[in-house]
Amino acid sequence: MADCLFCRIVAGEIPATIVKRSDEAIAFRDIDARAPAHVLVIPTEHVAAVRDARGAEGERLLGMLLRFAAEVATELGLDSAGYRIVTNTGKDAGQSVDHLHFHVLGGRKLTWPPG
C-alpha cells in the first residue's frame, strides 16, 4: 500500500535498522524504543492488523510471524532473561500504524499488566 509507513519501509523508501529479513517478514528497530531491545516484526505483504489475518492463510501468516519474532529474540540474546511479544489492535490498544506488527521487547524487567 503506497501510503502505508511500514509498506514503505519494506520497499526501502524509508530507512530502518533491519535486524532480520526473509521473503515474508522483516524485523527492524522501533524508532521510539521503550526497552533496551525493541524490535518490530512485520509481514512484507500489507495486512492491517491481527484481526485481518483470517482463514488458513491468516493462520499460516501469524504462525510464521510468531516464530520469526521468537528467532529475533534468540538472536538478540533475550532467551535466558526473557522478553515480551505483543501486538496492539485498534484504537483502544493504541495501534498507531495500520500494518500488522509484533513488538519484541526485552533487555529490562517488564511490568505487567501493560497500561
Q: Rounded CA gap, 103 and 115, in Å?
A: 15
Distances (CA, A) of 19 to 43, 44, 97, 113: 14, 14, 20, 28
Interface residues toward Zn ion, by CB under 5 A:
1, 4, 6-7, 46, 99
Question: CB–CB of 102/40 below 8 Å?
Answer: yes
Beta bridge partners, 38, equal 105
Number of residues that bind ligand 5GP (CB under 6 A): 14
Among 7, 18, 19, 30, interactor with ligand 5GP by CB under 6 A = 30
Q: Which of 46, 99, 101, 103 is catalytic?
A: 101
Compute the least distance from the CB of residue 7 to ligand 5GP, in Å.
12
Which active-site residues does the annotation give? 101
Contacts with ligand 5GP, residue ranges (CB under 6 A) = 5, 14, 16, 28-32, 40, 88, 94-97
